[in-house]
Amino acid sequence: MTVIEAARALGKVVQQDERYKAYVDAKKKNDADEELQRLIGEFNLIRQNLAMESDKENPEEVNGEKVKELTAKMHKAYEDVMSNENMAMFTIAKQGMDKLMSEINTILTYSVEGMDPETCPSEPPTGCSGSCESCGGCG
């Protein structure tokens, strides 16, 4: 089996995982929720208007009151989106998928660094171990 074949096989296994199924189900419900889509559209429009006002070339043309008003509206619109039941379920499902993908990536990264894929940790390291050999965290 080649590496690409193994990756494709892993992709099939991921698609059988309950976290993947929950993510896909939550995404479908989000996409079908007309009220949620309206709220997201409203949020994006406010955010775009705020960016246009804030990013004017001449800082003297920026209307501070308008920026303040749009910022408040954007925060309210965000709260409305995030309080939607389908968005809440999607957020939880996405966190599950993100964790799964992080674990997979961690195992692959450790494997590329020469560690045994059977025994290497699946959780990313936390904090600094003092060794810079395998760390890209400090820059």
Domain ranges, ordered by start, for the chain: 13-112
Q: Residue 104: is its pLDDT beyond 90? A: yes
pLDDT of residue 49: 93
Given a cut of 60, whether residue 130 has pLDDT beyond it is no
- CA 59 to CA 51: how far, in whole Å? 13
Kindly report the pTM of this predicted structure: 0.74
* pLDDT tops 70 at residue 136: no
Q: How confident is the model at residue 103 (pLDDT cuts 50, 70, 90)?
A: very high
| pLDDT of res. 56 | 81
Query: Side-chain half-sphere of 124: how many Cα atoms within 13 Å?
Result: 14
In 3D, which of 29, 26, 9 has the Cα closest to residue 104? 9
Q: Specify the pLDDT at position 139.
A: 46
Q: What is the DSSP string of 52-112?
A: HHHT-SSGGG--HHHHHHHHHHHHHHHHHHHTSHHHHHHHHHHHHHHHHHHHHHHHHHHHH
Is the pLDDT at 137 greater than 60? The verdict is: no
Domain spanning 13-112: CATH 1.20.1500: yes
Instruction: Note the pLDDT of residue 8.
Output: 97
